[in-house]
Structure 1
């Protein structure tokens, strides 16, 4: 199939796409994370260590395909402050920590061993030679069919091809979608923070005390070589080593639960259109002819319909609820907090306490302190 034919096939088969996505995520949890709270065997250690919890939210991209943002908790990971203290007090521990991070988070091509410095603007990813099959469609090299050294070579070559195709960052409109009118669109304002900078060594920033990863290539987004080899798609990976970063990521990921998919300006335009159409139906000059309740009912109906017509869900999102894994993947169950009911209950309690509290006699309430 050509790329166009594959896109058409996916668009015509959203249930198959949702099922495949669910299979991929379940495989990631089962094989990469190896989450199994009932086992204490060291064999249950996953790629990053022993996973003690995960929380992932599913989102649809603009073109409708699904992707997942997931937080993973690793057993034994110290608190942000304890981690800072140990790294400051023990250079050996800091070196071990840096080596572990560099083993799971890559910021350069497998063949890159020296700093790559841009001299003439942003480097562009090399194009695929004409007639070359998309690397994501290649048959994977396997350990069972190759000698160990040959497999390692094939593994690195495959990862390099996949990273160039999937994780080489080139600025797009989405990089600047939060900028205001007139703000410059350049490396510094890229919200993905791929600004062309490089860093020869993993180190601790003396000002923020955050860990800055080694980055030998200015345009390669963070990836894990094994994950990109298995999933064959673009990815991102980040170690959460500070309280601020943890809060930001928790908010970013869980925000998908509550954030509206309808932009404010689009919603307001829909409301304006509903009012306009209602005024055409019920001419204000002939208002005595109509019952106000009828006018209000019509306006309410038109407003709701106008707003609903602007809400969009991809076919794959809908099918993920029907045949896939839904909109989240979690290791633990959670209680639903009905915040509205809770808030109203507290408000009633405060009001009742205020009403029950005896009022001071006027003579006492006017006494100077």
Structure 2
């Protein structure tokens, strides 16, 4: 990820490099590592670009003049940075390494046994990125898509919002409210950036936060993620019940009450820790001293409960 930040995004901590990367000059970033149910690790990252306006400013400019040069350049930037359709096959036939092996298992088109001059051609690169997008970005519905659907009375909708009918031919601003609608040429293809996916060679998603609603949704998602417990409530209560039961099974008549209390807390803690699910990748990351988050700035702790209590004492709210 450090290489991704420096080589692809062109992030410079000293802010002296004004050339930038594939998305422009990166002003700040915040990313955290998440483990999937199968244990594999991936990163969720937010990126702030130099000169980027906040959603309200973009909306105001779009309402004032949706045909302005600013709106046209923003739409062009988004269309060039975000793709959501399978790249077409090249007109000329060419055989690339990703035809024989999974595209994620090969490092591009340069490989022993293949003609180097042919593999460096644009035709070979186009065929390779086509294979990569087909394997990594095309969505196939599964039970996970509908796990929040209740019974058969409600129409099933993919919780990821991916459907063949969800298409938009062009990116445009709504002149009435200034809302930005992004182009979507294939409703079953996750957003991707061609340069990023060719470099990291795995599935990805990329999103532009262009409205206040999107910004709030992302903020809620990140806050919910970094504060969520790895241990589900029903598992925690079951572990606590087991700890109390085991303590009562012991002969503790001679122990003082305080000793029993300490033993209870100790057993509860041990029982809860034993129920934590950690993948091998997470354990190895910790043992190797690798980072589990990547930030460009230092942050102060935000004590929400204390602040809420103070605000309520200053300005009492009848609803709370």
TM normalised by structure 2 equals 0.79
Name the residue aligned to 1:99.
Answer: 76
Of 103, 107, 111, 1:135 maps to 103
Name the residue aligned to 1:34.
Answer: 10
- 1:216-365 to structure 2, matched below 5 A, reads 216-281=185-250, 292-335=257-300, 337=301, 339=303, 343=306
CA contact (8 A) 2:84 2:192 kept: yes
Of 161, 171, 188, 1:193 maps to 161
Change (3 A) 1:309 1:241: same
- Post-superposition CA distance 1:245-272 (Å, at most 9, x none): 2232133234443321011111122222
Secondary structure class of the residue paired with 1:275: helix
Residues in 1 aligned to 2:302 and 2:207: alpha-carbon distance in whole angstroms? 32
Residues in 1 aligned to 2:152 and 2:274: alpha-carbon distance in whole angstroms? 32
CA contact (8 A) 2:84 2:185 kept: yes
Residues in 2 aligned to 1:331 and 1:141: alpha-carbon distance in whole angstroms? 33
Where structure 1 has 5 or more consecutive residues not aligned to the other structure, the ranges are 1-24, 113-130, 351-369
Residues in 1 aligned to 2:152 and 2:268: alpha-carbon distance in whole angstroms? 34
Name the residue aligned to 2:86.
Answer: 109
Residues in 1 aligned to 2:160 and 2:149: alpha-carbon distance in whole angstroms? 17
CA contact (8 A) 1:56 1:69 kept: yes
1:100 is displaced (CA, Å) by: 1.3
1:61 aligns with 2:36: yes
Q: Which has the higher relative contact order, 1 or 2, with Cα contacts under 8 A spaced 6 or more apart?
A: 1
CA contact (8 A) 2:39 2:279 kept: yes
1:328 is displaced (CA, Å) by: 0.8
Residues in 2 aligned to 1:276 and 1:210: alpha-carbon distance in whole angstroms? 58
Q: Which structure is larger by alpha-carbon Rg, 1 or 2?
A: 1
Where structure 2 has 5 or more consecutive residues not aligned to the other structure, the ranges are 90-98, 314-320
Where is the helix percentage greater, Structure 1 or Structure 2?
1
1:84 aligns with 2:59: yes
1:235 is displaced (CA, Å) by: 0.4
State the Cα RMSD in Å: 3.3
Residues in 2 aligned to 1:236 and 1:166: alpha-carbon distance in whole angstroms? 10
Residues in 2 aligned to 1:338 and 1:238: alpha-carbon distance in whole angstroms? 27
1:106 is displaced (CA, Å) by: 0.8
Name the residue aligned to 2:131.
Answer: 161
Residues in 1 aligned to 2:229 and 2:23: alpha-carbon distance in whole angstroms? 33
1:140 is displaced (CA, Å) by: 1.5
Of 19, 24, 27, 1:52 maps to 27
Residues in 2 aligned to 1:321 and 1:39: alpha-carbon distance in whole angstroms? 30
1:157 is displaced (CA, Å) by: 1.6
1:192 is displaced (CA, Å) by: 1.5
Deviating more after overlay: 52-61 vs 77-86: 77-86
CA contact (8 A) 1:176 1:185 kept: no
- What is the number of equivalent residue pairs in this alignment? 294
